[in-house]
Amino acid sequence: MLACDTREAWAQFLEFVKNRCTPTAFGNWFAPIRIVEASAEEITLEVPNIFVQEYLLSNYKKDLVAFLPTLPNGEPAIKFSVASPVKKAPAASAAPTPVAEERPSEESSGLYEIKLNTNYRFSSFIEGGNNQFVKSAAVGVASRPGVSYNPLFIHGGVGLGKTHILHSIGHHIKENHKKLRVQCITTEGFINDLVDHLRKKSVDRMKRFYRSDVDVLLVDDIQFLQNRLNFEEEFCNTFETLINQNKQIVITSDKPPAQLKLSKRVIDRMEWGLVVHMGMPELETRVAILQHKAELKGLSIPNEVAFFIAEHIQSNVRQLEGAINRLSAHCRLLNVAITQEMVERTLKEMLVTAPREKITVEQVLKSVAAIFQVSINDLKGSSRLKDVAIARQVAMYLAKEYVKDSLITLGLYFRKTHSTILHACKAIEKKIGADEQLTRMIQMVRRNLETA
């Protein structure tokens, strides 16, 4: 490969990237990069700062290897040099220009700010057993920002309502604490904001805004901070500054802090306050969500049909909302009523995710016994040994989730009363998320059951 070929290969790489990212991302991350030197063996690139170098290698290493020369170990043959800041000297003839006092402007803060969704309020959030504690904690934070739980860390799977709760907190504070400045942003937005200010050499302005002019910081999807060490450092410094000033921070994530690939310093900071888990709503709550969404669309769904949909769509709340949107369109365009037959036909692709075979209590007992290394007799017995007692509670918890029998019927399998089953379920709900090892073991049992 000749030097000119290497330059051409870099140009082809940029064209490849340009077609796969937004214009803003390309302008922030790739446009400022310059070729310093190129040979058949390697290329030297000038980057505006270390953040751009890290982003390039973290996110595009495989593509760089495909386009550019490589080292014997398979790494891209790239050398980096960080550009020195250029200071412009004032013109000799120019009179000193008075500098206006720098205040936080829309430019310094609003480039990546999320506008709060008007539909996401506490009043429209359907409360159930798996999210009741999350909502209570969120209301407490919104009522007394910086006092109740700081930071509040909410984690759970995709589409379960974390963003709804986050925006609800923002709305409540704006309406009841009008003097407080609320900033809601995604983690990607925070990173892009930092890069944009680095490019404009105005990082101090951004730091002043986040650390002095924000009273409540709402951060969505913190998992996107993983493997971005320099950005993580900047976020952590901002985090500590706000906490030390009793400024409220609320963070959402798809995993609890301990399971994120972040530094111990950042994880410790996130666990300072209250960590809460948002689980998938149980059947009755999913039915209530469906009915609520249908009301907003002006639809009337018979109770038995709502239960049918809720039983067959279990992955997340967004799918339930998507189902209502699709049914609404069919009803209006074809002028038909909602029946189970119509639902099966209209939502055919969405209902495929439902389990083909009903999971039994015996399957739950077998899977729990295998993962927790206890016997099925132990799970049905009365041993008070800690390991056995927790495994038994997990079996009861999963049996209630997967087997659609009453608590009294489930109690017969375990030779226990329905109140014991209910107590076990509540105990495990509290432990999920807080106990990392237990959470992983429960996930393993779920996978066994769902792939059997």
**DSSP symbols for 78-128:** EEEEEPPPPPPPPPTTSPPPPPPPP---HHHH-SSBPPPPTT--GGGPPP-
CA-atom Rg of the chain in angstroms: 27
pLDDT band of 182, cuts 50, 70, 90: very high
Label residues 402-418 b or e (16+ Cβ within 10 Å = b): bbeeebeebbebbebee
pTM value? 0.56
pLDDT band of 3, cuts 50, 70, 90: low
- Minimal CA–CA distance to 308: which of 322, 297, 320? 320
Between 10 and 311, the more confident residue is 10
Residue 106's pLDDT is what?
Answer: 41
- For the chain, domains (ranges, CATH) are 3-82 (3.30.300.180), 122-278 (3.40.50.300), 283-351 (1.10.8.60), 361-451 (1.10.1750.10)
Residue 105's pLDDT is what?
Answer: 42
Phi-psi region of 102 (alpha: psi -120 to 50; beta: other; left: phi over 0): beta
The pLDDT tens digits for 223-236 are 988 887 778 888 88
The string of DSSP codes covering 329-383 is HHHHHH-----HHHHHHHTHHHHTTS-SSPPPHHHHHHHHHHHHT--HHHHHS--
The pLDDT tens digits for 323-354 are 888 888 888 888 888 888 888 888 877 775 44
Residues 6+ away with beta carbon under 8 Å from 383: 389
Best-predicted range by mean pLDDT (48-57, 77-86, 304-313): 304-313
For range 143-169, the mean pLDDT: 89
The pLDDT tens digits for 70-85 are 888 888 889 988 876 5
Q: What proportion of the chain, given as a percentage, has pLDDT over 90?
A: 14
Q: How far apart are CA 261 and CA 259, in angstroms?
A: 7
Residue 108's pLDDT is what?
Answer: 45
